[in-house]
Amino acid sequence: MTASFARHEKSLEALRTRGRFRHLMPRAGHDFASNDYLGLADSDILRAAAADALARGVPVGAGGSRLLRGNDSEHQRLEEDAAAFFGTEAALFMGGGFNANQAIFSVLPQQGDLVLYDALIHASTHDGMRLGRAETRSFAHSDIADASRVLAEWRAAGGDGQVWIAVEAVYSMDGDTAPLQDFLAFADAQDAVLVVDEAHSTGVFGDNGRGLGHDMAARPNVLSLHTCGKALGVSGALICGQKVLIDTLINKARGFIYATAPSPLNAALVRAALHELQRNPQRRELAWQGIHHAQAEASRLCGLSGAQSQILPVIIGDDKRTMALAADMQGLGYDIRGIRPPTVPRGTSRLRLSITLNTPASVITTMFEDLARKMETAPCHI
C-alpha cells in the first residue's frame, strides 16, 4: 500500500471495526435476497424473448447515445408500450433506476422550487437533489401532517415556487406502502407534483402489476418511475408521465444525453416482461400466495407482524449481531443478507427478507423455523 492510499485503508478499517465493511459474495442458497419478485430473471419466458429478438436482428449493443446513433426502434417500441401499459402520455427508458431518479431530481425541479421528500426516500433521490437547484426539505416517514407543516414553514419563509413531493410506493428496506391517495389529495390541494417511485411495487401491486399508484398515473401532476430490474426481471427504468416532462429530460438530463443507450436487446426483454404481466396474471397471483404465506409464517413462528408487502425487514439493531445472524442463516442454506447504516438509520440494522417466486412455500416455512431458533437470543421485530 502506498502512502497515497493510507486514508482509504484507515476508512476501510473503521468500517471493519464497526461491522459495516462490505464485500461482494456470490449468490448461494435459497433466494431470500433478490428483487426478482415474479421469478422472471431466470425464466424461460425471457430466454425465449431473447432468442426471438436475436433472430429478428435486434442489436445487442446500442453503439452510442440515443441522441446520436444509439436510438433503436426497440427503445421506442418499449416506450410506446410502457406509456400505454402504465396509462401515461409518454415514457422514457433509462439504464437504471438510480440514474433515472438522478435525472428526475436534478433536472425537473427548478431554482426556487421545493422538493418535499419522505425521510426514507432512496439514495438516488438524494443524489439527484444534490445535483439540482431546487430547495429540499424532508418530512417524517409517510406523515402527511408533517409534510404539510414543513411546506407551510417554507412558504412562510418566502418560498413560492413549484412543489415536488417525492415518495416511494413500497419502501425498499421497510416494506411498508405509502398512503398514495392521501399524498395525491395533498398534492392537489397544494398545486404540487407527486413523484412516485414504484420500484418495489411494479409487477407486484396494482391491476396487472401496474403499480400501487396505477389509478393516478394519468394525472397531469403525477410522475412515476418503474424500474425494470426487480419484478420485471431485466434491467433499466421507465419514467412515465406528461410528455413535457419527458421531453425536458431528453433535452436536459445529463445522465441520458451523455450515456450510451441501454441495449436494444434489453429493451426488447423489458417489453416481453410487460407483455407477460398482461398475458399471465396468474404469475402475480402466485407471488401473492407466497407473500401471504410468508407473512403468516413470520407471525406464527417468529412473532413478526405488520408486514405489508413482499419485503419483510427483521430489525436486529446492532450491526455485528445482524451480520452474524445473516451468516448463520447463510450457513443453513438461505441467501439472506444483512442491511446496515447508512442504507438504514443507525440502530436499525436488519435482515431484509425478500419473498419471490423463486422460493417454494415449504422452504419459506423451514426458513422461518430456523430463523426462530436463531432469534431466541436476539429480540427482533418487523
| Enzyme catalytic residues | 35, 122, 168, 172, 197, 200, 230
CB atoms within 10 A of CB 254: 12
Sign of the CA dihedral running 83, 88, 91, 96: negative
Specify the DSSP class assigned to residue 379.
-
Q: In terms of C-beta density within 10 A (0-12 exposed, 13-18 middle, 19 or more buried), how is residue 158 classed? A: exposed
Beta strands in 107-228 (DSSP E): 114-118, 135-139, 163-168, 193-197, 222-227
Structural contact between residues 195 and 113, judged by C-beta atoms closer than 8 angstroms? no
C-alpha of 284 from chain center: 18
What's the angle, vertex CA 294, arms to CA 291 and CA 362, rounded to 5?
A: 110
Whole-number Å distance between alpha carbons of 283 and 163 = 38
Distance CA 257, CA 254 (A): 5
Separation CA 76–CA 239 (nearest Å): 13
Cβ neighbours of residue 207 closer than 8 Å, sequence gap 6 or more: 214, 215
What distance, in Å, lies between the first and last C-alpha atoms of the chain? Answer: 43
Residue partners of 167: CB distance under 8 A and separation at least 6: 117, 118, 121, 142, 178, 180, 183, 194, 195, 196, 197
